Amino acid sequence: MIEQLKGIEKKLDESLVKNAPFQLPDGLKEWIVKYGPYIALVSGIFGLLASLNLWNYAHQANNVINYTNDIYKSYGVSVGANRINVWFYIALVVSIIQSVIAIAAFSGLKARNKLKGWDLMFYSGMLSLVYGIFNAIYYSSFGSLVGGILGSLIGFYFLFQIRSKYNGAKTSKK
């Protein structure tokens, strides 16, 4: 599995850096590298909080749906609202995993002398892409598929543009 990801990483590096029609300016790359760890940390924390809220709201909505279905049944109507399904739990787990990865990437992104943090963000991006594709297939939504792929490509573009800043070389502290 890791070998396939390394192959994908190499192809993305060729497409989004070496053969890219334009490069991000060095000043913007430095800004992303400087503040990116904090953005990842905050988004990871907010992602966990959002997942908790999603869990709570979905179960509250499920209680309302169960009540509504009971009312339908009392009138002899067999059509009721859908309940929480497996796809909800898959989405919730993916959201939690991505949030944890973003938090875990903080120290590696901040250190800059390792690719560990960058690799974690790459894995998170791959997870997002795979989830987006399956989500679009599950809901038969071409727009979701296009949006998921475009969003992932934009995220990968920025991620690969700053990859050279995490080359494993030791950085001197000022």
Instruction: List Cβ neighbours of 144 (8 Å cut-off, separation of 6 or more).
Output: 132, 135, 136
pLDDT at 47: 95
pLDDT at 79: 67
- Measure CA 70 to chain center: 37
Terminal-to-terminal C-alpha distance of the chain: 40
| Residue located via tokens 């192809």 | 11
Tens of pLDDT, residue by residue, the chain (174 residues): 778 888 999 999 999 999 999 999 999 999 999 999 999 999 999 999 999 999 999 989 888 888 888 888 888 887 666 777 888 899 899 999 999 999 999 999 998 877 899 999 999 999 999 998 988 888 778 888 899 899 999 999 999 999 999 876 444 444
pLDDT at 170: 43
pLDDT at 171: 42
- Compute, in degrees rounded to 10, the torsion defined by CA atoms 131, 134, 139, 141: 90
Region of residue 112 (phi > 0: left; psi between -120 and 50: alpha; otherwise: beta):
left
pLDDT at 5: 87
Provide Rg for the chain, Cα atoms.
21
